[in-house]
Structure 1
Amino acid sequence: MGGFNSIVKLFMPKDRVFYSLFEDVSANLVDMAQELVNLVESNDPAFRKDKTHLIERLEHKNDDYTHRIFVELGQNFITPFDREDIHYLASTLDDVADYIHGSAKRMDLYKIKEITDSVRKLAHLILEGCKELHRAIPELRTMNNMRLITDACVKINSLENHADDIYDRAIGDLFEFETNAAELIKMREIYQALEIATDKCEDSANVIETIIIKYA
């Protein structure tokens, strides 16, 4: 197997642009998720608005990275792994960014005054998921540390299950205790956006697992 891996590495493109771009994306996602946590941990409306604007700027940065990945995909004849896997990984990571931004934007637009404990917990789980993605993605360069990649993917899977539980309980409480229909709709949308961000982290981890199964 070792000899075969050496041959595969020999034919890998000298241009490692995809690795760098994916690492840029995962680092940017950690920044976005950290700012989301900072936002939900604060009760200061002005501070929260600043964080929403910052998350929006980071989301635009993420769009630029994703666009560059797709441009490279169109121009490079040889890619480090399957083209559809590169495309799918870029898309799922971009979805994580979109839903982090969407969560922050909704909290701002709906003028949410009280941040619930469930919102804070979900934001922390998103941050943990993004950190795990950022641990796994640089390892794709060499694929020498399969254990680290697999552990990160397993952890993301477990974070997503935890997020599902928090989401289910939060929605249950909302329908039981929230008497204002408008507030109920607002909070449900925010919970959904946060929960989908954790789903998209898991989707990204699944693509990473597909890649290492093919190339390990």
Structure 2
Amino acid sequence: MSGINSILKIFLPKDRVFYQLFEEVATTVVEMSHLLKKLVKEPSFEEREKIIAQIEDLEHKNDDLTHKIFTELSRNFITPFDREDIHYLANAMDDVADYIFASAKKINFYRVDPLHESFSKFADLIAQGSENIKTAIFELKDMKNMRQITDALVRVNSIENQADDVFDMSIERLFATESDAKEVIKKREIYQVMENATDKCEDAANVIESIIVKYA
């Protein structure tokens, strides 16, 4: 199957390769976000380890896709939109993947109980942000459904604002209810990493907005 895909890529217009790669990246990030949602509902440390291994595999896949985007960028004179926008979007999506993986790793590394409302809320928001970015990216290749793109980007901005509120409330509750200073430090760091994932979704949304303003 990979051989067929390689042959098909030869016949793709060179500027179309970028759309295919970004769609693969967006799909991979969504898969990672769904696994993170599964992780924060899993009580078993050992089962979480298995989920983290799956997330890590997808993170490596995303790294390879990002590398391919940069390789195509250096190789191709013709690109579907500004080279700097391709670069920024690839980096933003890579950052989302990195923060999802970091969130998963830290939950087990610090041996915190992930079955907590704040972790669940953050994981849901990360998944929602990733799904809306995927929606927008899949519409970029023809830009026929501008309303669908702009609605998805508006939702990403709203999700990031919700994540800010969840972070503030989680920190407030943490200081009010947790007497163990080590637990405060560990949980606060995980909250921050998860909130950063939503920030990076917003960064990706801002790049996509820049693209559609220039080319729609």
Give me the TM-score of the superposition, normalised by structure 2: 0.92
Give the alignment of 1:99-110 within 5 angstroms.
99-110=99-110
In the aligned structure 2, how far is the partner of 1:179 from the partner of 1:126?
A: 28
Q: Does 2:143 correspond to 1:127?
A: no
Measured after TM superposition, the shift of residue 115 of structure 1 is: 2.7
Corresponding letter in the other structure for 2:170: A
In the aligned structure 1, how far is the partner of 2:184 from the partner of 2:206?
A: 33
Match of 1:97 in 2: 97
Mark the runs of 5 or more structure 1 residues left unpaired by the alignment. 1-12
In the aligned structure 2, how far is the partner of 1:91 from the partner of 1:182?
A: 33
Give the alignment of 1:1-216 within 5 angstroms.
14-15=13-14, 16-216=16-216
Instruction: Output one character per residue of 1:53-96: Cα deviation in whole Å (capped at 9) or x when no partner.
Output: 11111101100000000010000011000000000000000000
SS in 2 for 1:141: coil
Measured after TM superposition, the shift of residue 114 of structure 1 is: 4.6
Corresponding letter in the other structure for 2:57: R
Corresponding letter in the other structure for 1:139: E
Q: Given that residues 103 and 194 in structure 2 are in contact (C-alpha distance below 8 angstroms), is that contact kept between their aligned partners in structure 1? A: yes
In the aligned structure 1, how far is the partner of 2:19 from the partner of 2:121?
A: 31
Task: Identify the range of structure 1 (112-121 vs 33-42) with the bigger mean alpha-carbon deviation.
Answer: 112-121
Measured after TM superposition, the shift of residue 171 of structure 1 is: 0.7
What is the count of residue pairs matched by the alignment?
204
Q: Give structure 1 regions of 4+ aligned residues with deviation exceeding 2 angstroms.
A: none
Instruction: Output one character per residue of 1:36-66: Cα deviation in whole Å (capped at 9) or x when no partner.
Output: 0000011122211111111111101100000
Mark the runs of 5 or more structure 2 residues left unpaired by the alignment. 1-11
What RMSD over aligned residues (CA atoms) do the two structures have, in Å?
1.0
Match of 2:9 in 1: none
In the aligned structure 2, how far is the partner of 1:113 from the partner of 1:87?
A: 37
Give me the TM-score of the superposition, normalised by structure 1: 0.92
Measured after TM superposition, the shift of residue 31 of structure 1 is: 0.3
In the aligned structure 2, how far is the partner of 1:114 from the partner of 1:82?
A: 41
Identity %: 55
C-alpha change, 1:38 and 1:131, in structure 2 (3 Å) is same
Q: Given that residues 40 and 114 in structure 2 are in contact (C-alpha distance below 8 angstroms), is that contact kept between their aligned partners in structure 1? A: no
Corresponding letter in the other structure for 1:33: S
Measured after TM superposition, the shift of residue 177 of structure 1 is: 1.6
